[in-house]
């Protein structure tokens, strides 16, 4: 009985309660911390004015003091936060709706099943790891992974590898994607929303995140292939060598139970792939890529839309090209539009009834409603802290800037990664962790990089990537439910699996950190 009580005492409250406690603490601070203001000088540099506020006519009022918030402000903040984060919240809901619809068609399961039948050896490992990495980087794949183990692990064992190879392909691939989180709305998107800087979007720093994804995918895949080929040649080199009772899941039913990859499912997968491609194209900063004729890639990739409005305005107006946001300028609204159109197209292709479409659509939204509330409360913290130009948050920026003005970029990145490794030990999801930490650490990044050659936005996106890399270090290490469920399914001892997974995660962590450190010098952010 005493042991149960002890467990209850050590358990953390739900993430939403933690966030609200943080919000209440910030409200209390408003009674003691003065407000400050940021202005831009003639050189285009941001200057922080301590203990000042802007008057009605734009003048700076010195010795402004505090602006205390009360109980009304405490409960109003999440409401204001929901309003200011409406675009982020809708992108979360609509992506959940799309995933529910495409999962209802069985397209993803059938596609992976077809690959497993046609491929083997190194190609099988490389392609499957890429698929699961894409699932991780687009929508943070995690909870659904054990379902794929029932088909993937038997195929890996049949190919001459061990059970652990199949688990590493599955969870290692997803770990790579989650660590990069190129366009993951639940990690990168939630972190951007929590920072509260209106100049940030999923497109900010996307080149760096794509490089992160590519480099970590190559390194991670090579590590898994090396282990798999070693085990194939010598079974004694397996981390589970000598273990008894290992289940390889080869029951003879895994193929017969696989969904057929029919024409409709193929088209659905093509639609999903095109959606991901279009989203990435929309967020790439094309205007920063200069061409020899004085133009930029922005003019090239957006030429079709521009041409249509100039030469066929009637068709352009019918398609909405006059209101189309050009590629390179996309934000959360455009992300939502792509997923909304994709939901309709997948439903039409699979001849889904209106009732099934609505039921799956609403259910997908419902599954992610809790994330939208978390975003609202985290945005509420930013509301109390103030805007990016005035408020209590700017005072913290001033203090931090004064204390850390000589800290180099690499030290900030390393410190941020270590901090998020520690945060990753807490029972928090990515959205919750970013909501709790980003409002404050985002101010730290602003303080360090404001007025520098890197700039505030780039510095804050370095923080966001440090978050996704550090927090997801534990993806194949921490005994979370999906991983432990898969280990239990195969009877693989957790401590044996750790021998491989810790090496895998540590190497990815180091590689990701190095990429982030060199990114500012290579112009990737």
Task: Specify the pLDDT at position 286.
Answer: 78
Give the whole-angstrom CA distance, residue 482 versus residue 475.
10
For the chain of 525 residues, list the mean pLDDT of each consecutive stretch of 10: 44 71 90 87 70 85 90 94 86 86 87 75 88 85 72 79 93 95 85 83 87 97 95 92 82 55 92 85 73 80 86 83 83 87 96 95 88 82 80 77 70 90 76 76 80 82 94 88 81 90 96 95 86
CB count within 10 Å of CB 211 equals 18
The helix, strand and coil proportions of the chain, stated in percent and rounded to the nearest 5, come to: 70, 5, 25
Give the closest residue to 151 by CA, choosing from 116, 107, 108, 102.
Answer: 116
Task: Say if residue 289 is exposed, middle or buried (CB neighbours under 10 Å; 0-12, 13-18, 19+).
Answer: middle
Strands 60-62 and 46-49: unpaired
Give the closest residue to 402 by CA, choosing from 15, 7, 30, 50.
Answer: 50
CB count within 10 Å of CB 44 equals 7
Task: Specify the pLDDT at position 170.
Answer: 92
Give the whole-angstrom CA distance, residue 276 versus residue 179.
18
Tell me the β-bridge partners of 38: 48
Give the closest residue to 142 by CA, choosing from 481, 501, 509.
Answer: 481
Give the whole-angstrom CA distance, residue 221 versus residue 133.
10
Asked if residue 48 lies in contact with residue 36, where contact means CB atoms within 8 angstroms, the answer is yes
Give the whole-angstrom CA distance, residue 398 versus residue 444.
9
Q: Which helix (H) or strand (E) holds 146?
A: helix 145-158
Residue with tokens 């099988």: 124
Asked if residue 439 lies in contact with residue 194, where contact means CB atoms within 8 angstroms, the answer is yes
DSSP state of 327: T
Asked if residue 294 lies in contact with residue 124, where contact means CB atoms within 8 angstroms, the answer is no
Q: How many helices (H) and strands (E) does the chain have?
A: 23, 5
Tokens of 362: 């609403």
Give the whole-angstrom CA distance, residue 381 versus residue 386.
9
Tokens of 86: 């409406």
Tokens of 217: 């995918």
Give the whole-angstrom CA distance, residue 443 versus residue 430.
19
Task: Specify the pLDDT at position 15.
Answer: 62
Give the whole-angstrom CA distance, residue 111 versus residue 288.
37
375-398 burial string, b = 16+ CB within 10 Å, else e? bbbbbbbbbbbbebebbbbbbbbb
Q: Global pTM? A: 0.70
CB count within 10 Å of CB 502 equals 13
Q: Residues, the chain, total?
A: 525
């Amino acid at each position: 009985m005493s042991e149960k009580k002890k467990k209850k005492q050590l358990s953390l409250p739900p993430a939403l309660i933690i966030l609200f406690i943080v919000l209440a603490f910030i409200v209390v601070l408003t009674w003691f911390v003065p407000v400050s203001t940021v202005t831009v000088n003639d050189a285009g540099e941001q200057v922080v004015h301590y203990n000042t506020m802007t008057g009605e006519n734009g003048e700076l009022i010195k010795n402004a003091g505090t602006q205390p918030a009360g109980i009304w402000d405490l409960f109003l903040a999440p409401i204001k936060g929901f309003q200011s984060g409406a675009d982020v919240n809708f992108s979360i809901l609509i992506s959940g709706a799309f995933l529910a619809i495409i999962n209802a068609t069985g397209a993803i399961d059938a596609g992976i099943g077809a690959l497993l039948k046609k491929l083997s050896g190194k190609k099988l490992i490389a392609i499957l790891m890429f698929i699961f990495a894409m699932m991780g980087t687009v929508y943070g794949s995690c909870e659904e992974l054990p379902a794929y183990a029932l088909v993937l692990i038997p195929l890996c064992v049949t190919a001459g590898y061990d059970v652990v190879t199949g688990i590493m392909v599955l969870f290692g691939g997803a770990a790579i994607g989650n660590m990069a989180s190129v366009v993951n709305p639940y990690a990168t998107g939630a972190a951007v929303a929590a920072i509260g800087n209106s100049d940030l979007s999923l497109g900010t720093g996307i080149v760096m995140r794509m490089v992160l994804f590519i480099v970590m995918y190559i390194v991670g895949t090579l590590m898994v292939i090396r282990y798999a080929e070693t085990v194939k040649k010598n079974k004694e080199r397996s981390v589970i060598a000598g273990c008894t009772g290992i289940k390889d899941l080869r029951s003879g039913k895994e193929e017969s139970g696989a969904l057929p990859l029919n024409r409709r499912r193929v088209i659905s997968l093509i639609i999903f792939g095109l959606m991901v491609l279009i989203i990435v194209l929309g967020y790439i900063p094309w205007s920063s890529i200069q061409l020899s004729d004085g133009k930029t890639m922005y003019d090239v990739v957006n030429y079709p839309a521009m041409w249509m409005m100039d030469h066929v305005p009637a068709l352009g107006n019918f398609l909405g090209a006059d209101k189309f946001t050009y590629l390179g300028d996309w934000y959360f609204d455009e992300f939502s539009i792509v997923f909304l159109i994709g939901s309709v197209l997948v439903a039409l292709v699979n001849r889904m009834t209106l009732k099934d479409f609505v039921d799956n659509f609403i259910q997908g939204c419902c599954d992610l409603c809790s994330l939208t509330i978390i975003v609202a409360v985290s945005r509420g913290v930013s509301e109390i802290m103030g805007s990016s130009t005035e408020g209590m948050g700017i005072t913290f920026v001033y203090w931090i800037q004064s204390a850390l003005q000589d800290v180099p970029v690499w030290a900030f990145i390393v410190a941020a990664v270590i901090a998020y490794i520690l945060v990753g030990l807490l029972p928090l999801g990515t959205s919750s962790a970013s909501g709790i930490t980003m409002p404050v650490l985002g101010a730290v990044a602003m303080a360090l990089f404001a007025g520098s050659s890197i700039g505030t936005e780039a510095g804050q996106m370095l923080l966001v990537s440090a978050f996704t890399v550090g927090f997801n270090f534990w993806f194949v290490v921490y005994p979370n439910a999906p991983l432990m469920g898969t280990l239990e399914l195969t009877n693989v001892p957790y401590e044996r699996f750790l021998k491989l997974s810790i090496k895998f995660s540590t190497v990815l962590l180091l590689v990701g950190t190095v990429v982030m450190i060199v990114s500012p010098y290579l112009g990737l952010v």
